Structure 1
Amino acid sequence: MAGRLRQPTGRYGGRTAEERQAERRRRFLDAGLRLFGAGPGYRATTVAALSEAAGLSTRQFYEEFRGLEDVLAALHLQVNDWAEEAALAALAEARDLPLAERATALFRAYAANVTGDPRRIRITFVEIIGVSARLEEQRLARRARWVDFICGEAAAAVARGEAEPRDHRLAATAFIGSVNGLLHDWNAGWVDATLDEVVEELVRQLLSILRPFDGGTVGPATP
C-alpha cells in the first residue's frame, strides 16, 4: 500500500522518537549558529553544507525544516529568547533596588548575554536583515516586544515615583535602536570603549528618557 513514510515512534538507544528528533533539530541549529554566525554567513551556506556541519543528512534536514530560512528564523528567535531570559533574571534579583541600579543590572545582563558569543550579534543584527518579507516582519515584531519590555519597566518606574508620567513608547522605540546599533558597533570594533562603558552609556540614555530634567524624583502617577 503506497503512502507517506512515517517517522519511527518507538524507543531506540534508550531515547524516544521525539527525543531523537529534538536532538537532530538542536544539531542543525548549532550548525546554523556556527555557519551563519561565524562564517561563511547565511547567504553563502547551502543545505548540504549545513547538514554536513551538523553531521546529518539533507534528508534529515528536510524532515525538520522547509529550508535554510527556517533555520535562520529559529536562531533569531532563540538568540532573543536567551537575551530576554537573562534580562528578566537580572531584573528579578534587582527588583527592590533604585531605578539606576535596576537599569544597570538589566543592561549588564543583556549585554553580557548578547556579546558573550559574537555569533549571536551577527545572527540578530546582521544576517537577519533583508532576507525576506517574512523575516523582516519577525525582526520588527521581536523589536516591538523589546519596546513593550522597556515601556513596562517605565510604567513600573512611574508608579514608584521614579519616572516622569508620560507615554514612553516613542522614546523606547528610539532607545532600542540605540541599543542595537551601539552593541553591534562595539562588537565590530568600531567603538573604543569597554563593555562596562557601553552599559553605562545605555543606562544614562534610559535614565534621561525616564527621569525629569532636574534628576529628582516625581510623585506617583495619578489614575
Structure 2
Amino acid sequence: MTLAQLAHPAASQVHLAVNLLDAQSLLAAFGTVGIAVVLFAETGLLIGFFLPGDSLLFTAGLLCAGSAGRPGHLSLPWVLLAAATGALAGAQTGYLVGRKAGPAFLARTKSSKLRDGADRAAAILNRYGHAKAIVLARFLPIVRTVLNPLAGVLAVPARTFALWQALGGLLWTVGLVLAGYALGASVPNVDRYLLPIIAVIVIISLVPIGLEVVRSRRARGAGDHA
C-alpha cells in the first residue's frame, strides 16, 4: 500500500475492512485521531495489548515527511500531540484502574500473553525500581500494557508513576515519530519500502521481550541447579 492509498483508500475502488493489527490500515481509516485512540487503548486497557503501537508511531512519522500537499501527508505537530495525549492518558488510566480494582484486576484474565506480560512487568519493577521500569516498559510490547495497572495494584506512589510515565511516554512517542519522519524525509519514495520497514520495526520491538524471556529461563535454570 502506498502513501496515496493511505490517504485516499477509496481511490483503489476496493473496500477494505479495518485491520486492527495493521498500522497502515488504522491510519488509513482513522488518521491522526486514530493514533490517540489506539495508544490510549494499548497503554490503558488490557484489551489493547495486541495493538501495533510501535509500528503505528513510526508509520505516522513517515507520513509526516514531504510536502503538505503530498497524498498521505500528516501534520507532524498534530501527530506528536495525538500520540503523546493517547499514551499519557492511557497509562494514567491503566494505573488508576489497577489501583481501584486491586490484585483481582489481572487475576481474571484468561490470556496467557497478558499473564506472561504481567510476570515480566513485575520482574522489571523488582529489578530496575519504579522510575527506570516505568520508562523502559514503554518500549516493550504487552509489558507497556500491563505494567500500568500493575503499578496501581502494587501501590506505586501516584506522583512517582505520573512523573516517570510522562517522561517514558514522551520519549517513546516523540522518539518513534521523529525517527519515522527523519527516514521519510531522507529517503526518496520511501512508501515503496513501507511494508519491509514496518516488519523491521515489529521485529526490533520484539527483541527486548525475547531477551527478557531468555534471561528469565536462565535464572530459573540456575535456581533449579542451586
Greater Rg by CA: 1
TM range (shorter): 0.3 to 0.5
When normalised by structure 2's length, the TM-score is: 0.36
When normalised by structure 1's length, the TM-score is: 0.36
More helix by share: 2
